[in-house]
Amino acid sequence: MGLACLTISASGTFATEAEEDAPAKPTVPNVYLDLRTSYATIPAGTLGLGFGTTSLSAAFEALAARRGTTLPNGLPTAKSIAVDLPLTVDVTDRVSLYGGVSGSTTDIGGGWSSFDITSWNIGVQADLYQQNGGRIPTITLQSTLTQSVPNETGMTNSFNNILEFDYALDEDETRGWLAGVQYTHTTIASPFASIRPNTILYAGGYYQWPSNWKFTGRLGMQSFSGAQLAGRTIAESFPQPILRLDLDRMDDNDNRLFGITALIAWTPKPSYQVTLRTPLYAVRN
């Protein structure tokens, strides 16, 4: 009995040492459909502007190009429901690639339109530098190319870039400060229409509780240079404040399980947007 126990113990020791000496198996990247459902109200004379790039912007930019000639007072008051379906792959803990389609339905006073695919997008998000307990904040760059559909006169191309600095105040990175800039450049496939760039400068912070609920707030200043169609101004230029609040449910490995975002953008009248994020994971580490 004693010899048998000694043999088993020695076998376990050698097995453990073999496992420690063996190279680590590669981790399969996270793969998920980052489903986002948004509801927005947009006042007359403005476009769907704000943080991030969604189908809302593409939908109302296309609206400006296709219907602007029949609107003597510029863009009408509108409501929109949009669904974004980007397939996301977290290649590493520093780089994510994504691409997908977006669809929306709008109401500009005559009832809701049919739900149609309004744009497709591709993009990348990468940590250019990670703080990892140091004094230099994490630097993240996110770039997204969005094109409205169908591909015809009035089509829009939007290139959105976000550069963000994240300074964590603790080793676990559960609380910290944020600062960043977002720049969006949009073109319309029409010689009679133009949308000038939109820039947002912002600052904020975040806190994550032990229960893995995370709150993030960003307050900034949005500067839009305006939009014209056939020599007429359909959206005025403005510098106005913008506020975004996020509440996310994370797991122990900082994968998002659920999120809700509230956005108020003065454009210059207040525009409201609420977004639900419900990621559908094919692989989650």
* Ordered alpha helix ranges (H), 138-283: none
pLDDT at residue 239 in the model: 92
pLDDT at 211 over 60: yes
Structural domain for 171, as ranges: 28-283
Q: What average pLDDT is seen over the chain?
A: 83
Higher pLDDT, 205 or 15: 205
pLDDT at 14 over 50: no
| 51 domain-assigned | yes
Structural domains counted in the chain: 1
DSSP symbol at 216: E
pLDDT at residue 188 in the model: 84
| 7 domain-assigned | no
First CA to last CA distance, the chain = 42
Q: Tell me: cis bond preceding 268? Omega within 30 of 0 counts.
A: yes
Total-model pTM: 0.83
Interval 140-180: pLDDT, tens = 999 999 998 887 777 888 999 999 999 999 999 999 999 99
pLDDT at 212 over 50: yes
| 13 domain-assigned | no
pLDDT at 262 over 60: yes
pLDDT at residue 238 in the model: 84
| 121 domain-assigned | yes
Determine contact, residues 142/162, Cβ cutoff 8 Å: yes
Interval 40-98: pLDDT, tens = 988 876 666 777 655 444 444 444 444 433 344 456 788 889 999 999 999 998 999 99
CATH of the domain at 205: 2.40.160
| 113 domain-assigned | yes
| 41 domain-assigned | yes
Residue 212 burial class via C-beta count within 10 angstroms: exposed 0-12, middle 13-18, buried 19 and up = middle
